[in-house]
Structure 1
Amino acid sequence: MEQFIQDWGYIALFLYSFGGGFLALVIASAFSSSGDLNIFITIIVAAVANIVGSQFLFFMAKNNKNYAQNIMNNHKRKVALVQVLFRKYGSFVIIIQKYIYGVKTLVPLVMGLSDYNSFKFTVINSIASILWASIIGYGSYIAGSFLLEYADNFKYIGLVTVVVVLTILIISFRPKKRRSRKNDI
């Protein structure tokens, strides 16, 4: 398993971070804390992939407006949120969008459809991606060493937690018995 992680970990991290996801960065950073991956390479790969992915979305929207509009038609409320955030925070929204689930892929599309300067977007997006990869990566690296140290204890607690949560969900969402109206009259 360790050899598989060492061989394919950075590729999986690149592909997942290209789409804006941070779960692969968290997992790769945790593996870095155990020595399976290098934390510096992990952060660099995630940052580069995130920069390239956001740039792809920005220029795709800039050069193919109809396709980008069709994508965003399914997310009208989120697009409205992005526009409100942009009016309120300006270019800073490019930095904070990396941490907001659900809008991080829409911000480059909205910016690409607008008349936002391409060079300015590239610079701010690069800074935001490097910050994102560094903060999430290093935080997960620190937490990963703690979690891996106590992993044997956590696996049983995790299993019990899953069983309890599933039991509560099944009980709370079971169909309720309906009384017939004939008995009420």
Structure 2
Amino acid sequence: MREIFRKIQPYSGKIFAVFLVLFVSFLAYSLYLAPVSGIEEKFVYLLKQHGYIILFVWGMLEGEAGLIMAGLLSHSGDMNLFLAIFVAGLGGFAGDQVYFYIGRFNKEGVLKRLRGQRRKFAFAHLLLKKHGWPIIFTQRYMYGMRTIIPISIGLTRYDARKFAFINLISAWCWASITIVPVWYFGNEIMVVLHWAKEHWYLAIPVAVVFGGGIIYYFSKATKKIEKRIMNES
């Protein structure tokens, strides 16, 4: 079994890509067959029918939007809160494990294809050297570094079992921090969503400004940390 796993690991990136293509195809086919009318109703139906599968894959991509939806479905009773956290965490864990092994077994290919990301890789190595294992926790909240850090750790001799253990705990913490507040404030969020649906012409620019502000803040904060650590080294 170990020998089979060892042979599969170098192709983890390609397997991940094929898996995502199959998943998107499955979603498109399921949406087409959904016995309801309207794209919004179809998506809601799909989430209620295959919510945990979608949540797992969304967790692999580390998309907070999927976790927010899981929080709302948990609030409405269509999902179990603890199971949603468990599944989302497993998805986040699986995604970072794939990235880790891409770095571990495809070093030459990574360095060749991601040549334009060398500065970020250097920054990730410095973060790991300076802060050690806590960086595995914080990387999920660092804009533009979520994929780079697991891959860069895989490029080093960092113990794979230690990374897997910390990564799993980190993923469950990330899922909890995102899903629980949405579940708790579900009524308030639904009121806001209903208002946004009724006043979409106002909600869209507000969402763009708010979302853009968050991205800009985290991007600037990440660059500030990067510059400081680079100067210290």
Scaled to the shorter chain, the TM-score interval is: 0.7 to 0.9
Is 1:162 paired with 2:190? no
Paired residue type of 2:66: A
1:7-156 matches, cutoff 5 A: 7-156=49-198
Match of 1:174 in 2: none
Which secondary structure state, in structure 2, belongs to the residue aligned with residue 132 of structure 1? Answer: helix
Q: Measure how far apart 1:49 and its partner are.
A: 1.0
Asked if 1 retains the 8 angstrom alpha-carbon contact of 2:196 and 2:202, the reply is no
Distance 1:60 1:163 in 2: 39
Distance 1:121 1:39 in 2: 27
Alignment length (residue pairs): 166
What does the per-residue CA deviation read over 1:48-79, in whole Å, with 9 as the maximum and x for residues that have no partner?
Answer: 11111111111222112112223432322322
CA distance 1:151–1:161, shift in 2 (3 Å): closer
What does the per-residue CA deviation read over 1:92-119, in whole Å, with 9 as the maximum and x for residues that have no partner?
Answer: 1000011122111111100000011111
Structure number with greater Rg is 1
CA distance 1:11–1:71, shift in 2 (3 Å): farther
CA distance 1:12–1:89, shift in 2 (3 Å): same
5+ residue gaps, structure 2: 1-40, 209-233
Q: Tell me the TM-score normalised to structure 1 length.
A: 0.79
Aligned-residue RMSD, C-alpha: 2.2
Paired residue type of 1:112: G
5+ residue gaps, structure 1: 167-185
Paired residue type of 1:130: W
Q: Tell me the TM-score normalised to structure 2 length.
A: 0.64
CA distance 1:163–1:112, shift in 2 (3 Å): closer
CA distance 1:150–1:57, shift in 2 (3 Å): closer
Asked if 1 retains the 8 angstrom alpha-carbon contact of 2:125 and 2:153, the reply is no
Q: Measure how far apart 1:158 and its partner are.
A: 4.4
Asked if 1 retains the 8 angstrom alpha-carbon contact of 2:99 and 2:151, the reply is yes
Asked if 1 retains the 8 angstrom alpha-carbon contact of 2:59 and 2:67, the reply is yes
Which secondary structure state, in structure 2, belongs to the residue aligned with residue 37 of structure 1? Answer: coil
Q: Greater relative contact order: 1 or 2 (C-alpha under 8 angstroms, separation 6 or more)?
A: 1
Q: Measure how far apart 1:135 and its partner are.
A: 1.0
Match of 1:171 in 2: none
